[in-house]
């Protein structure tokens, strides 16, 4: 079984990509298994915080052994994760999965995230954590696949074909469309975060993607761009 470990930042079409892989008959998808643990350890003020913590496993070892590395009856397991959820955790499991880093231009990411969270810090963007994971995996000759959400939106069929080729799996055109509405795999936080994807039926650029970066986040943006640019230089690109 191929275990695809998607390490994304927030507001980054990661849910749409999860819905895309869910269209495959050979695939089971899992939505952010480390979210409750992240909230518990960081005291991050996210919508639905207490409900999420009370309804999910928070023991890191159990999550890794039973969810990420657990047994499933499928050819492909697609695990959608936020990179910054990996804190105070034995990350050796990353060597037993195929890692995909889903990145997004920091201006768009921060602008979108500011509509949901206040006082955004580097940790909230996930970009520095993605970069750290990228460097770590490269150093042990386990280089992750990097793909930019903007490239996916330019040409979904071509970019997903490239991604599937890099993953060593056949591309399935069913990945390009899905039914509008919720999915059974959605985390209980979907009501706070998934409004746009629930309205969608395919990969679509949101009108809000062009909103301006709030002035108070200029320095954060500059810091994020250093990490983003290096990862982008290694990413799959639409020609």
Residue 149 lies in a domain: yes
Q: Nearest 5 degrees, angle CA 197-CA 83-CA 154?
A: 45
pLDDT of residue 210: 67
Which residue range is the domain that position 123 belongs to? 2-233
Judge whether 239 lies within some domain. no
pLDDT averaged over every residue in the chain:
95
Name the nearest CA neighbour of 63 among 28, 103, 32: 32
In angstroms, the CA 22 to CA 237 distance is 23
Inside any domain, residue 66: yes
Q: Are 12 and 109 in contact (CB under 8 A)?
A: yes
- Give domain status of residue 31, yes or no: yes
At residue 227 the predicted structure's pLDDT band, cuts being 50, 70 and 90, is very high
> Which two three-digit tokens encode residue 33?
């298994």
Task: Give the number of other Cβ atoms within 10 Å of residue 83's Cβ.
Answer: 24
pLDDT in tens, 11-44: 899 999 999 999 999 999 999 999 999 999 998 8
Given this model, what pLDDT does residue 207 score? Answer: 59
Tokens of 178: 């899905």
Instruction: Give strand pairing partners of 81.
Output: 7
Say how many domains are in the chain: 1
**Strand positions, DSSP E, 107-187:** 145-148
pLDDT digits (tens, 9 = 90+) for 114-159: 988 888 999 999 999 999 999 999 999 999 999 999 999 999 999 9
**CA dist., res. 71 & res. 77, Å (int):** 10
Contacts of 77 (CB under 8 A, 6+ apart): 1, 2, 3, 4, 27, 28, 30
Query: Given this model, what pLDDT does residue 117 score?
Result: 83
Instruction: Confirm whether 60 is domain-assigned.
Output: yes
- Which domain CATH number covers 170? 3.40.50.300
Please tell me the pTM assigned to this model. Answer: 0.94
| Contact of 152 with 159, CB cutoff 8 Å | yes
What pLDDT, on the 0 to 100 scale, is given for residue 29?
98
Q: What residues does 58 pair with on adjacent strands?
A: none
Asked if the structure places residue 19 within a domain, the reply is: yes
Domain contains 158: yes
Q: Does residue 90 lie within any of the structural domains? A: yes
């Amino acid at each position: 079984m191929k275990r695809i470990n998607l390490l994304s930042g927030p507001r980054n079409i990661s849910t749409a990509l999860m819905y895309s892989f869910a269209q495959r008959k050979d695939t089971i998808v899992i939505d952010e298994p480390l979210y409750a643990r992240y909230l518990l350890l960081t005291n991050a003020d996210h919508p639905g915080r207490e409900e999420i913590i009370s309804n999910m496993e928070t023991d890191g070892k159990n999550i890794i052994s039973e969810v990420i590395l657990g047994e499933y009856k499928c050819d492909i397991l697609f695990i959608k994760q936020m990179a910054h959820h990996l804190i105070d955790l034995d990350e050796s499991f990353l060597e037993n999965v195929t890692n995909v880093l889903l990145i997004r231009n920091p201006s768009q990411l921060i602008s979108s995230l500011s509509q949901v969270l206040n006082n955004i810090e580097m940790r909230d963007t996930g970009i520095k954590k993605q970069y750290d994971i990228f460097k770590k995996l490269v150093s042990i000759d386990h280089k992750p696949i990097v793909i930019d959400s903007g490239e996916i939106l330019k040409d979904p069929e071509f970019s997903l074909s490239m991604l599937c080729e890099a993953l060593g799996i056949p591309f399935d055109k069913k990945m390009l469309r899905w039914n509008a509405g919720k999915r059974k795999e959605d985390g209980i936080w979907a009501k706070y975060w998934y409004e746009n994807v629930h309205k969608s039926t395919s990969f679509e650029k949101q009108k809000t993607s062009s909103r301006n970066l709030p002035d108070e986040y200029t320095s954060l943006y500059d810091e994020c761009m250093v990490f983003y640019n290096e990862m982008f230089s290694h990413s799959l690109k639409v020609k």
